[in-house]
Structure 1
Amino acid sequence: MSVQKPNADSLKQKLLNKSATLGVVGLGYVGLPLAVEKAKAGFKTIGFDIQEHKVEMVNAGQNYIGDVVNEDLQEIVHSGLLSATTDFAQVAKADCVCICVPTPLDVHQQPDISYVRSSAEAIVPHMHKEMLIVLESTTYPGTTEDLLKPILETSGLRCGVDFYLAFSPERVDPGNLIYKTKNTPKVVGGMTPHCTDVAATLYESILEAPIHRVSSPAVAEMEKILENTYRNVNIGLVNELAILCNKMGLNLWEVIDAAKSKPYGFQAFYPGPGLGGHCIPLDPYYLSWKAREYGFHTSMIESSMMVNDRMPEYCAERASKILNQSEKAIKGSKILMLGVAYKQDIDDYRESPAIRVIEELEKGGAEVVYYDPFVKEYRDHGIVKKGESQLSAELIQSADLVIITTAHTTVDYSFVQQHAKAIFDTKNAMKEIQNRENIELL
């Protein structure tokens, strides 16, 4: 332990006086905002990505992430505080490297950690003593210790002695107007107490938020999965109740509003056409996969996943019934979808349930067009689908059914209601509309 302390103190001092060079691997929805905050805090920052177009855009000061302020990016790039590269040899210049790469599910719904593995392998040849490496990518408990540490130690350096390793889960909520990277509390768990200390010092030097230290990377990894599984389970509950309330002729949205009048013991969650984004739909699968290693089945979690996974299909079935009320079959009907982003007022359509609803409708023979002011086109299974350029009265009137799958606040829902034959509102976006003759709620 006596060998570790001087190294830890030396790196901490570089972080405190902002003489450290920081690196970020992966310049997506998590990595670019983090790199920007590091540079804004006064650190020379290098962003790494295998996609050349992202690197070129960053170096030109061109922003492609909604939560990054364009002027901030331009200023720090032009000042020389932030640069990007595809050359991982530049890792040798960094004192701290954060890995922020995707951790998707494979075709078997199992964690695909190939991006984490390849990032670690790219870092290894350029590691040096007194370096901190932090994994931020959401993953299953044990990834940092069982996967990352052995790969990094092939460099010949010893974790906790020659270099420092920690896990700190990303907490990015695209479109959140209050909580951004800079002011969201951070959880940090290192392989040793000194690893935790150095990693906490890094984030304390960058963020304006509390840093919560935990005893190990595995605790921090499980904490992240708990956050999103908690939401998955509760959304699964209200989605199931939405199906039941429809059968009972009850308005679940009104039920939820009544329940949340209680000042304690209840947190409101809302139904929808399914779950989107990178975290909530995927994280429970990581946990269920890992649990099987211990002969344990996460029955409650898996049940909520089944409910949520079925919602796009259920919404397509409801759409068919609404069309039937007008003596129309889904086959040959024109359906206008409002919104393909996975949540309101953002351009992110990763894992968007709206796209799955479109697929289900098209399987039934419907002609589906969409309008989304934030997503002009999207790619699904290698095919690019373009949206309508404007939401005109003619477009709305031409549709046999309008389905609201994303509650963008920039859409004039009164205008939609006035011109639509029938509306299926899966997000309660039209809650303020008084004339509800042509509106059916999820």
Structure 2
Amino acid sequence: MTVTSLSSALHAKITARTAKAGVVGLGYVGLPLAMAFARAGFTVTGFDIDPSKITHIDQRESYIEAVPTEVLRDECEAGRFSATCDFTRLADCDIVAICVPTPLTAHRDPDLSYVARTAEAIAKTLRQGQLIVLESTTYPGTTDEVVKPILEKAGLKSGRDFFLGYSPEREDPGNRQFHTATIPKVVAGDGEDAASLMQAFYGATVSTVVPVSTTATAEAVKLTENIFRAVNIALVNELKLVYDAMGIDVWEVIDAAKSKPFGYMPFYPGPGLGGHCIPIDPFYLTWKSREFETPTRFIELAGEINTAMPHHVVNRLAEALDIRCGKALSRSKVLLVGLAYKKNVPDIRESPSLRLMELIERRGASAAYFDPFVPEIPSTREYADLKGRRSIDWSEEAVASYDAVVIATDHDDVDYAAISRLSPLIVDTRNVFARKGIASKAIVKA
């Protein structure tokens, strides 16, 4: 078949909702995306190497907050969604979306091993007329320089035999205003036919499609969004340190500054960066920029500032224990409130709370945590020693038994009034007590 006939055939399937979609990687990005495809009327197969996820799906149980169990159950029982560990079934899919992790190595270089292995698995069953889409966040050029050569090893060519595209995920865990289908979707294809198919398929799934000229441009869009946040958060973190030395409350400054209706956008300081995007994505660009001998000073400085924030919090904690309580950190019991990287979600990916716990214990203190969303610390790449630790059972007696409480994540479902009454020292990294109008001499901002 000619490329035109292959493209027309897939277009027709997309329009009729008879195209079969596959999603590789059923995590925080992949499972919501699979549900969006299914709810748009496509038959979807999810693929994952973790058999426990398949078991949950077979039992009609969601393990991702953004996907309610009833939605998962409805799509499964309607026959629009199923999941498997059998990657040979990729051959049945007309469209395959890759939603696998893209972490950093210990040296902050991109780790594309998950993407490469997934592309190799797809290549084994790749056939004419398929559309392969990378959604994982990565540096500009990955789709063309990494994914495309792997897929073409078997002899089929992008733009002639199959179609290749990139569309960056934009998930925001805990966001009640937007979900996968209502977040504008940036799309790009390797060639005109692929670009047209990307617009047709995602246009059938989400409310707004934003086409860009190349896959590298689409990859750069996602990095730009997260670098913007990383740099501005670093700025307010640095301002916090400067203003604190001057005796000025940075939170009051930001509240007043944001009253300006133009020319200012508020960002807020914290104990460090967390989540699957902001602490990682900027370094994909700094790595790629070396190839072009172009420095990325702002990005690298922002990374240094944000990475140093947990150290600042622990130093502030040690200082406050010494001055206010006459006790060394090494002889203290510390309770971290909030393990998730952001409020009201169970997501601990790259959470600064894990780093805080590690640093506190390195200083000889005893550290525990309370988080109503994270009953137990799961396996993580960087903090294997913390796996299996459990949140304390909340009680006034338990809270009162700690020498200090550190507010690392400002979940709504926490009794802050009780903490202010019971704890001799509170290190508040989120300004939650001031926002709630709770005053206490025990509170130290950090």
Bin of the TM-score, shorter chain as denominator length: over 0.9
The Cα of 1:382 is off from its aligned counterpart by 4.8
Q: What corresponds to 1:374 in structure 2?
A: 373
1:409 aligns with 2:392: no
1:168–1:187 CA contact under 8 A, matched in 2: yes
Q: Quick one: which of 212, 221, 238 aligns to 2:219? A: 221
Q: What corresponds to 1:299 in structure 2?
A: 297
Gaps of 5+ in 2: none
Taking the TM superposition and a 5 Å limit, the aligned residue runs for 1:1-400 are: 3-207=2-206, 209-325=207-323, 326-378=325-377, 379=379, 380-400=383-403
1:103–1:111 CA contact under 8 A, matched in 2: yes
- Within 1, Cα distance between the matches of 2:155 and 2:67? 38
- Within 2, Cα distance between the matches of 1:155 and 1:96? 18
- Within 2, Cα distance between the matches of 1:408 and 1:221? 32
Give the fraction of aligned pairs with identical amino acids, expressed as a percent.
45
The normalised TM-score by structure 1 is 0.98
- 1:124-148: per-residue Cα shift (whole Å, max 9, x none)? 1211111100000000010000011
Three-state SS of the structure 2 residue aligned to 1:256 is: helix
- Within 1, Cα distance between the matches of 2:64 and 2:253? 36
- 1:400-427: per-residue Cα shift (whole Å, max 9, x none)? 1110000101112112111111111101
Q: Quick one: which of 431, 435, 439 aligns to 1:428? A: 431
- Within 1, Cα distance between the matches of 2:429 and 2:439? 17
Which shifted more, 383-392 or 89-98?
383-392
2:376–2:388 CA contact under 8 A, matched in 1: yes
How many residues in Structure 1 have an aligned counterpart in Structure 2? 440
- Within 2, Cα distance between the matches of 1:261 and 1:385? 45
Three-state SS of the structure 2 residue aligned to 1:14 is: helix
2:368–2:392 CA contact under 8 A, matched in 1: no
2:236–2:268 CA contact under 8 A, matched in 1: yes
- Within 2, Cα distance between the matches of 1:9 and 1:279? 36
The Cα of 1:38 is off from its aligned counterpart by 1.1
- After TM superposition, the runs of 4+ consecutive aligned structure 1 residues lying more than 3 A away are none
- Compared CA separation, residues 388 and 119, structure 1 to 2 (3 A): closer
For 2:445, the aligned partner's letter is L
For 1:423, the aligned partner's letter is I
- Within 2, Cα distance between the matches of 1:59 and 1:132? 27
The Cα of 1:112 is off from its aligned counterpart by 0.3
- 1:61-102: per-residue Cα shift (whole Å, max 9, x none)? 111001101100011112221111111110111000000000
The Cα of 1:385 is off from its aligned counterpart by 4.1
Three-state SS of the structure 1 residue aligned to 2:132 is: strand
2:428–2:443 CA contact under 8 A, matched in 1: yes
- Within 2, Cα distance between the matches of 1:382 and 1:250? 38
Gaps of 5+ in 1: none
The Cα of 1:386 is off from its aligned counterpart by 2.3
For 2:174, the aligned partner's letter is G
The Cα of 1:436 is off from its aligned counterpart by 2.8
Three-state SS of the structure 2 residue aligned to 1:293 is: helix
- Within 1, Cα distance between the matches of 2:101 and 2:200? 25
For 1:295, the aligned partner's letter is E
The Cα of 1:383 is off from its aligned counterpart by 3.9
- Within 2, Cα distance between the matches of 1:148 and 1:435? 55
- Within 2, Cα distance between the matches of 1:59 and 1:200? 32
Three-state SS of the structure 1 residue aligned to 2:329 is: coil
Task: Report the aligned-residue RMSD.
Answer: 1.2
Three-state SS of the structure 1 residue aligned to 2:288 is: helix
Which shifted more, 428-437 or 143-152?
428-437
For 2:295, the aligned partner's letter is H
2:369–2:392 CA contact under 8 A, matched in 1: no
Three-state SS of the structure 1 residue aligned to 2:110 is: coil
The Cα of 1:6 is off from its aligned counterpart by 2.5
- Within 2, Cα distance between the matches of 1:375 and 1:25? 26
- 1:188-222: per-residue Cα shift (whole Å, max 9, x none)? 01111211110111111111x21000010000001
For 2:279, the aligned partner's letter is P
- 1:369-404: per-residue Cα shift (whole Å, max 9, x none)? 110000011142254242334321111111111100
Three-state SS of the structure 2 residue aligned to 1:182 is: helix
For 2:251, the aligned partner's letter is W
- 1:44-73: per-residue Cα shift (whole Å, max 9, x none)? 100001111111211221110011011000
For 1:221, the aligned partner's letter is E
For 1:199, the aligned partner's letter is M
For 1:222, the aligned partner's letter is A
1:414–1:433 CA contact under 8 A, matched in 2: no
1:372–1:387 CA contact under 8 A, matched in 2: no
- Within 1, Cα distance between the matches of 2:244 and 2:2? 65
- 1:236-285: per-residue Cα shift (whole Å, max 9, x none)? 00000111111111110010000100001111000000000110000111
1:397–1:420 CA contact under 8 A, matched in 2: yes
2:103–2:111 CA contact under 8 A, matched in 1: yes
